[in-house]
Amino acid sequence: MTKLNQIIAVEKSVKGGTLRDLTDAHHGLQKPALLAGISRTYQPKDEDGEVLPPESTRVQIKAEDVLRKTAAVMTRLFDVTATKDWANCVAKADVVVDGQTLLRDVPVSYLLFLEKQLTDLHTFVKKLPLLDAAEDWNFDESADYWRTEQVRTIRTKKVPRNHVKAEATEKHPAQVEVYYEDIPVGYWTTVKFSGALPARRVNELVDRVEKLQHAVKFAREEANGLEITDQRVGEVVFDYLFR
């Protein structure tokens, strides 16, 4: 029997081939010269008249033939798509992570949805903000965010000082150089806060997303391995349309 994943594998090529054939048929039918034919003979008026050979053009495209070929080509597409869609109504699988069944009897269409969403979530989780590893953080339950211990630092102020390089004399003034000295004037007590996450937490979330991604892909493959019944709907449709 046919399996769902086999039908999925050929559906794209069948669609592409059908589109090309339908386009070619459409273009051919838009050329009146290809559908037209003629046959004519010439008879001179009298015995001394000019004799001309007969002329003929054959019909190259017959619309009914195009309809039959179109029906045959599109019947394959209709059947393949119907087989896939009918099978998708019954193709289901469980999503299992570490031996625990998270979701039961999930349809293939929803498994595909989950795969896409989990890809986006993986990108989102990987870029979550991390706590600065250079600091020691503790979680403040009352404030619901992370904080560091108090750190006390000195605040200084630059105060100008004079340095006499040469004393004054009767002939020359004193040579004085101005310099600045850092003088302690107070203390800063600093506590840092953060709403970011520890690297351990982010790694844990990434691991969970990746495990679920693998489980969903496995479930989809399992569902797509279902043995299915080939549907034959195209012939019925085109028997009605082109009879």
Where do the domains of the chain lie?
1-91+232-243, 94-135+196-224, 150-190
Residue 1 pLDDT class (50, 70, 90 cuts) = low
Residue 162 pLDDT class (50, 70, 90 cuts) = confident
Q: Of the candidates 129, 123, 128, which has an alpha carbon nearest to the alpha carbon of residue 213?
A: 123
pLDDT, mean of residues 24-51: 88
Joined tokens for residue 64: 């009914």
Note whether 220 and 125 are within 8 A (CB). no
> Is the predicted pLDDT of residue 168 greater than 80, yes or no?
no
Q: In this structure, which long-range contacts are made by residues 177-184, counting pairs with CB atoms below 8 Å and at least 24 apart in sequence? A: 182/156, 182/157, 182/158, 183/156, 183/157, 183/158, 183/159, 184/154, 184/155, 184/156
223 SS3 class: helix
Residue 34 pLDDT class (50, 70, 90 cuts) = confident
**Phi, psi of 69, rounded to the nearest 5 degrees:** -65, -40
Quick one: what percent of the chain has pLDDT higher than 90?
Answer: 56
Note whether 190 and 54 are within 8 A (CB). no
The residues, any chain, with a CB within 8 Å of residue 5's CB and separated by 6 or more, are 221, 224, 225
Classify burial at 95, counting beta carbons within 10 Å of its beta carbon; exposed 0-12, middle 13-18, buried 19 or more: buried
pTM (2 d.p.): 0.67
